[in-house]
Structure 1
Amino acid sequence: MEPKSNYTISESDLIKGCIAGDRRLQEELYHRFAPKMYAVCLRYASNVEDAQDLLQEGFIKIYRNLHHFRAEGSFEGWIRRVFVNTSIEHFRKKSTKLSMVTEKEEGTIEDTDISALENLAEKDIIKIVQELSPGYRTVFNLYVVEGYSHKEIGDMLGISEGTSKSQLARAKSVLQKKIAQYLSDTQKSYTR
C-alpha cells in the first residue's frame, strides 16, 4: 500500500470528482486515506486478511455514500467513522453474543492498568490486540482508541453499559497478561 497521493488536489475537488465517477480521483482518494484507514481496520480485525477485507468494504461504502458527506466536520473524520462502523458491522456478523453482566457482577470487576503498552512498538501492540477475542477487541478499540463512552458502545453493539465496562476490564486484564508474556519472551531472547 504505497502512498502515491497528490495533495495538490483539494478535498472539495476530490469529493466532487469521486461523486462524478472520475476513476483517477477515486484512486487518489484511496491512496490518500488507505494507509490510515488500514491501521483502523487492523485494530478491529483478527488478522491481516480480515483487515484487508474491511479496507475494501469500507472504501466501497465511501464511494457509494460520498454524496452524503455534508462538510460539517472533517472529511477524514467522516471517512474514519465509516471504517469504524464497517468494523462494528463485521463484528456483529461474525461474533457470538457478548456475555452479559449483572449489576452485582459489575461491581466486582476491577479496572486494569495497561501502561506497559507504552513500552511496545505499534506493530507489537496491534498484534497483541488482534489476539483478543472479537468482543474484547471491539470494546477495547471503541473505548480506548476511538474514545466512545460505555453508553455509546452499548448502543452501537446492542449491549448494556455494564457489559461494555466488563468487556473492557476483561480485555485489559487479558492484555496485561499477554503484554507481560511478550515482554518476558523478549527479555529471554535478549539474554540468550
Structure 2
Amino acid sequence: MIGSDLVDRCIANDRKAQMALYKQYCEGMFCVAIRYVNRQDEAEDLVQEAFIRAFKKIEQFRGDVTFGAWLKRIVINKCLDYLKKKKERSISIDEHELQIAEEPEWTVEEPVSVEEVKKAMKSLPEKYQYVVQLYLLEGYDHKEIAEILDLSPTASRTRLMRGKGYLRALLTEKKHETGS
C-alpha cells in the first residue's frame, strides 16, 4: 500500500514522489488501458493523461481505497471518454424501464480459453462490452459501474446479463464454427 507520506509529497508537487508513483503503477495501468483501446500508442497516451490528471487532482485522494484503485478508475474513465469521443455517436435507450430477469447460468459447454473470452468480449455491442469488462475483468460492482458509466445500478445489471448472454452465444457459435 502506498504510504501517505508519498501521497503527501505528491500533493506538495514533489517530482521524485510523482516519479516513484508513476514507476510503481505505469505498467499495470497500461494493461488496463490496452484492454479498452487495443492499440499500444493510444493506451500509452491515455495512461500518461491519466497520470497527469491524477497528479493534478491528487489532493482529492482520500485514502478510502488504495491509490492503485483510485488511479485505475481515472485510467478507465480516460479510456471510456476517449472511446466515446472516437465514436461520436450515442445509443439512446431508456434503460431505466428495462426489467431485470433472473441471471441464468452462463457457462459455455466446451472449454474456452481466457484469450477466446477476451476476443469475444471485443465483439460485443459497446454498451454491453464496457459493463462486462468492468465487471468480469476489472472487478467492479454494479454501483461502481453505474458511477463510471453514468447509468443506474439496474441498467448495469441488465447490461451485464444481456452482455453475458451475447458472450455465451458468441463463444458457442465460435465452437461450432471450429468444429469442436
State the TM-score, normalized to the length of structure 1: 0.66
Residue 156 of structure 2, aligned match among 164, 173, 176: 164
Q: Give the % identical residues.
A: 28
Residue 93 of structure 1, aligned match among 85, 90, 99: 85
Q: Does 1:76 align with 2:68?
A: yes
**1:87-134: CA deviation from partner (whole Å, max 9, x where unpaired):** 34334434533452578863679746146798424x554343233332
Query: Aligned partner of 1:148: which letter?
Result: D
Question: Alpha carbon RMSD of aligned pairs, Å?
Answer: 3.8
Q: Does 1:53 align with 2:45?
A: yes
Structure 1 match to 2:126: 134
Query: Aligned partner of 1:113: which letter?
Result: W
* Counterpart contact for 1:44–1:87, Cα < 8 Å: yes
Structure 2 match to 1:113: 106
| Long gaps (5+) in structure 2 | none
Q: 1:13 deviation in Å?
A: 4.1
Taking a change above 3 Å as real, the CA distance of residues 187 and 27 of structure 1, as seen in their structure-2 partners, is farther
Equivalents in 2 of 1:22, 1:103: separation in Å? Answer: 46
**1:132-174: CA deviation from partner (whole Å, max 9, x where unpaired):** 332222111233333322x654454344555434432332233
Q: 1:59 deviation in Å?
A: 1.3
Structure 1 match to 2:31: 39
Q: Does 1:26 align with 2:18?
A: yes
**1:55-87: CA deviation from partner (whole Å, max 9, x where unpaired):** 222112112111222233322222222223333
Structure 2 match to 1:4: none
Q: Does 1:178 align with 2:170?
A: yes
Query: Aligned partner of 1:69: which letter?
Result: F
Equivalents in 1 of 2:147, 2:14: separation in Å? Answer: 37
State the TM-score, normalized to the length of structure 2: 0.69
Which stretch shows the higher mean deviation, 26-35 or 158-167? Answer: 158-167
